[in-house]
Structures are given as C-alpha cells and as structure tokens.
Structure 1
Amino acid sequence: MPDATLIDRYQNYRAQRFRKHERTYAHSLPKWRTRSRRRVLVRGLAITFGFMFVVSLLCAFGFDWAPLLWLPACAVFFPLWLVLQIVSGRQGDAPDKTLDEYELAQRNNARSIGLTITQNLMLIPIFYLIFGSVITGGSDTDMAYAGGLMALTVLLIGGCAPAMILGWTRPDPDA
C-alpha cells in the first residue's frame, strides 16, 4: 500500500500486534474462559471500583491513612483486569480489522455504553470539585486529592466497561 496514510499504517500495525498477542494468549487460562468465571472477574472489578470510590470519599473526609488503601485496591485491580482481558480475548479494545461484523457491532455497542458511563459518572467528581472549591475557597488539599481519586476511578470504570460488558454477555466459547 504505497498510498497508505499514517493512520492506516498505524491501524495495520495495531492489527498485527493484536493478532500476535492473541496467538500468544489464546490458550491461557482455559478454565477462566467460561461465562460464569468471566462474571466472577467482572464482579471482582465492580467491587474493586466501589472500594476505590470509598477510598476517595475517606480522603475527602480527611482520613490521613486513607490514601494507603489505594495500594491494595490496585493490587486487586491489576490482576483482575489482566485476567479478564486475557480470557475475553481483548475484544473490548480490538482493532477493527481483527473482528468480524458481529464482533465489531458488539464491541462498538459496549464502547458506546462505556462512554456513556464515563460521561455520567464523571459528573460526580466534577460537581464535587466545583462546589467544594466554592465552599472552601479552594484551600482544601484533601478535597483536591479526593477529587483526583474520584476522577481516576471513574476513568478506570469507563475504560474497563467495554471489556466488562463483553465478558459478562458473551456466551461460552465453543469446545
């Protein structure tokens, strides 16, 4: 393709890299590829996100030890997310060229829902920071840290939502 644009070349590179990783992990964690096991992972992520949001609230209320709770939340989040990505075939962020029409439609629907979730949930830290800064005159550093953790949690939820939706809804793989 001599007339390929930079974006076309990047998309081709992404597709090649995706297929390589897909081959590498295609047979990993076979017992976790069932719908019921994927749902366990999705529930675990949802609980972890709830915990992260509680940590941000504890920071908002000025508990000095609360930020330390973010470390165990991350220690749970990263393995759950990694395993869900492996067992769901990373379909939530797969390049277009690697999916058939049905998979593409499913992925796009899940992404659309993820964007809607992100936009709506992001209102929580936005309003918290806006109203909090007006009430405190912008002098509360706990509020800024808590708002940042709230925003980070919401972005993680929105970024993980497509894979969580697909992991929850897709049928068991063929034997």
Structure 2
Amino acid sequence: MTAPRTPSDGPEAPLALLRTAHTADLRAAELDAARALMDLAFEGDFSDEDWAHGLGGMHALRYDADGTLLAHGSVVQRRVLHHGRSLRVGYVENVAVRPERQRQGLGGQVMSALERIVGGGYDLGVLSPSDEGEKLYRAHGWVSWPGLVGTLGPRGVEHMPDEEAPMLWNADLDPAHPLLIDWRDGDVF
C-alpha cells in the first residue's frame, strides 16, 4: 500500500509521510494495513474488539518514503465523570510501530500528532498503556492517574479497584475523586 497524496497533489508531489485522517476518510487498504500492523506489533495478541475501540475517530499514520505503514495511533472521543463534571476525553488507542522500526522516534511522531488533536478538541487525554509503551508516553508528559477508577456501566457506577491506572495528559483533576469512564464492551480502559 502506498502512502496517500492529497487531492491537489500532482504525480510528482512528495508522499505524505505523516498523515492524520478520520476513520471515514481512510481507504479500506489503509485500514487493513493499520490492522495488520497491530497484529505484527502485538505479536497476535490484539483482538478485533481491541481494533474496534480505535475506530470512529482520528488516526495518525506514519509512512516511509516507499509508502509502507510504519506506525499508527488513533484518538476517539469518550466521556469521563469526575467530581460532578462530564469531561470530553480524547482516548488514545491502537498505537503501534513496526517491530524493526521501534525506538527510532516514529511512535513519538504519532503521539505528537495525536496530542495536537487531543489538545485542540478535548478536555484531556486518557490512555491505557502497555508495559512497552509506558516509557514513550511518559516522555510526552503523560502521567499515571493516582486516584480510584471505575465506570458508569449498565448497572450504574462500578468501581474497579484492581484496574491498572490509566495515564492522563493535559489534566488537572483531583485524585480525591474517582475517575469514572463511560462503559464499553471488552476492556473498559
């Protein structure tokens, strides 16, 4: 799959090495390449449900000069209830880099693009880090939530005392009050 060119690009135009686009604006081949990257990067431990969590929002895709997808991430809107407020959250999902290209700054490029989207359209950013990704997120200013977490689920508020702490970006929240995220099938965080 080759990297896309913008509609005004002529045949000699340079490739768009870092592209941001909504799920609806991605071609089927681009989505297939991103899904395949998740399987490759997570060594087959990435379900269709995990993939679906990252659809319906904005994607950041990093290509090489030949048009091969090297890195991907997405941000989708979710809601968090905190201390009597409902906050619009940019939830970061499906961040991955081709294994042979990790530790070369590509994940950082994707995160910078996603943080621009979060900063311009949401109250704060939230993500659930993998052990491998946590160092990248910390380098970008993401911090672990020190308070309690839960969800507003089908049976009302459900506290999740055993849930690993999510990471937040651009947030000034009081950890004395729990962070309740909207319900979804599969992993809530």
Structure 1 length-normalised TM: 0.25
Structure with more of its chain in strand, by fraction: 2
Structure with more of its chain in helix, by fraction: 1
Structure 2 length-normalised TM: 0.24
Q: Work out which structure has the larger RCO, using CA pairs closer than 8 Å and 6 or more positions apart in sequence.
A: 1
Larger Rg: 1
